[in-house]
Amino acid sequence: MYLVVRSASAQAEPIRVLVTGAAGQIAYSLLFSIAKGDVFGKDQPIILVLLDIPPMLPVLDGVVMELQDCALPLLREVIPTDKVEVGFKNLDAAILVGSMPRKEGMERKDLLKANVAIFKSQGAALEKYAKKTVKVLVVGNPANTNCLIASKSAPSIPKENFSCLTRLDHNRASAQVAMRVGVSTGDVKNVIIWGNHSSTQYPDVNHALINLDGEEVCAYDAVKDDSWLKGNFITTVQQRGAEVIKARKLSSAMSAAKAICDHMRDIWFGTSDGEFVSMGVYSTGNSYGVPDDLMYSFPVMIKNKSWKVVDGLSINDFSRAKMDATAAELIEERDTALAFLGVE
């Protein structure tokens, strides 16, 4: 007599996960991790939907072939498409990587105008075709404002279901502190990225803890260099993306893909007790005086696929000024974007 044991993956229903800009370099670093179970779980089958613009479809075919050739047990289906009605149908998760890149000589407002149109249409597609429970992560820049526009264009999907990527900045900050102290990044927790995913972001370690020989020590005591933490540390994290472009002649891809995986995995499975992570989320009635109706990066804890801003952290004058400056930039971006849409 033989006993047949069914694995959990044989029983679980596949989830539909969309990646836009799927022929691009971030997606190329991202798709394998999603398809092999690093993000949504080792027993969760996946239907991967890959959306890109028509000229990129031949490249997308090559990506599909490679995914097939990986022979990944959890990957049930790969659907390449340039049509939103296919791409956004019945989604459980949407990772919006594709956006209009900034070209040489392009004004920021021109970049904003092009992306407002893209993310308005993608928000409308989410509204029309996706599940109302869909979790949406916006990566394409300017990520915070693109995320806000997408959420406003999908009014029946809760604002809480939308977030934008500041985990890359968070990971950069953790890594800088870890290298400075000489510990693993796993020994650093609770750094914060406040505000916009731009050069005005504020990497804050006032509440960060470092594990030194089994004891949790606050970052300022572990680093023992206040001028670095208030100076070069902040500018290094703020300018890191530009430095990568300068060195590679391409924007961050591997590290961006890793951050996307971290962000979505935390949404799916929650944060560890006593730990918080950084995420661009909808600002409404927070305890930090951040204006409402922005997608602003806060420290959050996540449980049962719902995030909550970590309230009650002390904010000194230095931090307050940095938090206000990045909020001012986001207000300007939002108002410019809404003017393009003809929305008050």
159 three-state secondary structure: helix
Window from 7-11, 93-97, 103-107, 328-332 with minimum mean pLDDT: 7-11
Per-residue model confidence as pLDDT tens digits over 218-260: 999 999 999 999 999 999 999 999 999 999 988 999 999 999 9
Per-residue model confidence as pLDDT tens digits over 156-205: 999 999 999 999 999 999 999 999 999 999 999 999 999 999 999 999 99
How confident is residue 11, by pLDDT bands cut at 50, 70 and 90? low
Share of the chain above pLDDT 70, in %: 96
**Residue 9 neighbours by CB under 8 Å, 6+ apart:** 42, 43, 44, 45, 73, 74
Residue 1 has what pLDDT?
A: 41
Q: What is the mean pLDDT of residues 139-161?
A: 97
- Other Cβ atoms less than 10 A from the Cβ of 6: the count is 7
How confident is residue 343, by pLDDT bands cut at 50, 70 and 90? low
Residue 106 reports pLDDT greater than 90: no
Surface-to-core class of residue 286, CB atoms within 10 Å of its CB (0-12 exposed, 13-18 middle, 19+ buried): middle
Amino acid at 178: A
Euclidean distance between CA atoms 53 and 56, whole angstroms? 6
- Other Cβ atoms less than 10 A from the Cβ of 144: the count is 29
Residue 344 has what pLDDT?
A: 45
Euclidean distance between CA atoms 18 and 327, whole angstroms? 30
Q: Are 300 and 191 in contact (CB under 8 A)?
A: no
Per-residue model confidence as pLDDT tens digits over 263-281: 999 999 999 999 999 999 9
Class of CATH domain 166-335? alpha beta
**Domain 15-164 superfamily per CATH:** NAD(P)-binding Rossmann-like Domain (3.40.50.720)
Q: Is 172 annotated as a binding residue?
A: yes
Residue boundaries of the structural domains of the chain: 15-164, 166-335
Q: What is the mean pLDDT of the chain?
A: 94
Residue 85 reports pLDDT greater than 90: yes
Q: Are 197 and 169 in contact (CB under 8 A)?
A: yes
- 207 tagged catalytic: no
Q: Is 320 annotated as a binding residue?
A: no
Catalytic residue, chosen from 170, 197, 207, 263, is 197
Strand partners, 295: 282
Higher pLDDT, 34 or 7: 34
Q: Is 17 annotated as a binding residue?
A: no
Please provide the size of the chain in residues: 344
Q: Is 139 annotated as a binding residue?
A: yes
Quote the pTM value: 0.95
Q: Is 102 annotated as a binding residue?
A: yes
Per-residue model confidence as pLDDT tens digits over 24-48: 999 999 999 999 999 999 999 999 9
